Amino acid sequence: MKFIPLPLSGAFEIKIEPRKDPRGFFARFYCDDEFAAHGLNTDWPQMNISFSRDAGTMRGLHFQRGEGAEIKLVRCLRGKAHDVIVDLRSGSDTFGQHATVVLDAEKRNAIYIPKGFAHGFQTLQDDVELQYLHSTRYGPGFEGGVNMMDPDLAIPWPLTAAQMSERDLSLPPFSEVQPL
């Protein structure tokens, strides 16, 4: 595996290193030892999947705070998604900044998202499926979010928004979100 640091401290794009032969390939997506050697989380008690039917569908920007704060490892199982993280860590030099990674089922890459980040994505194709590994079990009392369309964030969404939930549309702007 290749661990490629993103511009926001502690976040990584993770790429597989396939070993190919006439049958196809074999690659490691996750290894406790390699993650630990990079100082990353190795405990994943919860795994989730999201499916979005239409290209341009948007989800996020979500986060968990306090005891519910979580690390995420996200990969695309089908299709492509424009994945975005926003640094909400109190005292961070990159507070309020974002980083993007195109998660692509064919490339089989992933994004490692530390605690203290909001996360969201826009699907780039129809029928996109993402898999999330979480370092903490879901705690509904700890959830929060930032409006992904907030112009102060200046996130360059590649497509016109096709679908967003009422909940995501009603999330507060960045200026009203307390640091994590």
By the 10 Å C-beta count (0-12 exposed, 13-18 middle, 19+ buried), 30 is classed as: middle
176 φ, ψ (degrees, to nearest 5): -100, 0
Say if residue 169 is preceded by a cis peptide, omega within 30 of 0: no
Which tokens belong to 170?
């009603």
Q: Name the residue among 97, 71, 94, 96 with its Cα closest to residue 12.
A: 71
Could you tell me which CATH number the domain at 2-176 has? 2.60.120.10
Among residues 30, 98, 112, 132, the one annotated as catalytic is: 132
Provide the percentage of residues in the chain whose pLDDT is more than 90: 99
Q: Residue 43: what pLDDT?
A: 97
Q: pLDDT for 124-158, tens place per residue?
A: 999 999 999 999 999 999 999 999 999 999 999 99
Q: What is the DSSP string of 5-26?
A: E-SSTT-EEEE---EEETTEEE
Residue 10: pLDDT band (50, 70, 90) is: very high
Q: Residue 166: what pLDDT?
A: 96
> Which residue's entry shows tokens 């200046």?
154
Q: pLDDT for 21-53, tens place per residue?
A: 999 999 999 999 999 999 999 999 999 999 999
pTM: 0.96
Note if 62 is an active site residue.
yes
Among residues 30, 62, 82, 112, the one annotated as catalytic is: 62
Q: pLDDT for 102-112, tens place per residue?
A: 999 999 999 99
